[in-house]
Amino acid sequence: MTLNRPALAVLGASSFFYVTAETIPVGLLPEIAVGLDVAESDVGLLLTSYAVVAAVSTIPLTALTMRVPRHLLLAITMAIFVVSQAAATFAPTFLVLVLARLICALAHGVFWSVIGPVTARLAPPGQAGRATALVFVGNSLAIVLGVPLGTALGQWLGWRTALGAMVVGGAICVIGLMKVLPKLPPRPHDLNVRPVAQLRAAIALGRDRQVLLLCVITALLVIGHFSAYTYIAPLVRRDAGLEGAGLSVLLLGYGFVGLITNYAVGRFVDRRPGTMLVGLLAVLAVSVALLAPVLGLVPTVIVTLLWGGAFTAIPVLLAAAPLRIAPRARDAASALYVVAFQIGIGGGAFLGERMMRADHLGVLPLVTAGFAVLAIIVIVTVGRRAFPARLSEEDHHRAEAQLVS
């Protein structure tokens, strides 16, 4: 069995548009605020409300859809994405924009819960981590190209045009998923278990020590990251006077460095993921902390690029972990991870909004660095077991057999 690269490419493209659409308010924060006559801090809450709905709905919706063929379910979630982005494009008020994004948030958790296990099914034994890294190139490209180009497009032709581009891209992905993905029926185990039992099993899995540690570590580092990243536009405007085209170029560099790091991590993700995660978090903590004082143009650009390089590769390590620590309940473990990630996004955006309203913009980098250090402490002291190396081929086949039985 070899890697199904066309299918992985379509999954990566789908993740590209999901990540771009979720985070594009970061780059277009000033334009949306002016266009809909709201404060910049209010626009930051677009991420919070989205994340809250995704976090609350992920586990129950994942349980309810366990019997839906995986290839069809992914196509459905992308179709919902297209509808929601179309509604957001033509939203006449800020409230309508929020509600349109919440429609997408309902599908978001299911999409991210399913994409990891599907990627593992498309990979040969022992290469699930490598396949996950290939799919997550889409995430990196969303930061490298999606958000910067969306920001530039929105500044040039208006933020609604940028959202309209998401509609077109999402529609292409729906067609691609229907044509390229092989038929992926539910696991026999999933067909024999009722949704209520699936829901209870997912909740019970949250008491597993490794899964719980993964979720805690994920929530900590993502809360820290998004508390500052949500407001990166006003932050670099304060530190380096960058806005408009300058902001777009900086975001492009942020993501490009992350793409390089993502590629490097993808080559070693199946070896020592815990050690690599600690190293990336250390770089993140130091680089972001340096943004607290007003540095000027060149230093701000350098440390922002280091920040991007460190964080963009981290989700590769996080997303591969549920597939290893819960091989018999991959969808449920991935759902819990998605919930933790969304709690992190929502919590971080909300924390950033509170700090912005209190006029503490310069403190946000220190908050991010502090959460990164806290995540390192948890990993080093009690959390290394949440990031085991890849399953051996024997373990992989045993897990597959247990799933079928």
For the stretch 282-314, pLDDT in tens is: 999 999 999 888 778 888 889 999 998 899 888
* pLDDT at residue 117 in the model: 84
- Per-residue pLDDT tens for 179-196? 999 988 876 655 565 666
pLDDT at 390: 58
CA distance 307 to 339: 24
Cβ distance 66 to 193 under 8 Å?
Answer: yes
Q: Which CATH superfamily is domain 5-404 in?
A: MFS general substrate transporter like domains (1.20.1250.20)
pLDDT value, residue 126: 67
Q: How far apart are CA 170 and CA 172, in angstroms?
A: 5
CB 28 within 8 A of CB 161: no
Q: What is the pTM of this model?
A: 0.76
Q: Give the residue from 140, 70, 147, 57 showing the smallest Cα distance to 104.
A: 57
What element of type H or E holds 384? none
| Alpha-carbon span 146 to 251, nearest angstrom | 10
Domain residue ranges in the chain? 5-404
SS3 391: coil
**Per-residue confidence (pLDDT) for residue 404, from 0 to 100:** 35
Query: Which residue type, as a one-letter code, is found at position 378?
Result: V
141: helix, strand or coil: helix
Q: For residue 309, give the H/E element and its range.
A: helix 297-325
Closest CA to 227 of 341, 362, 367: 367
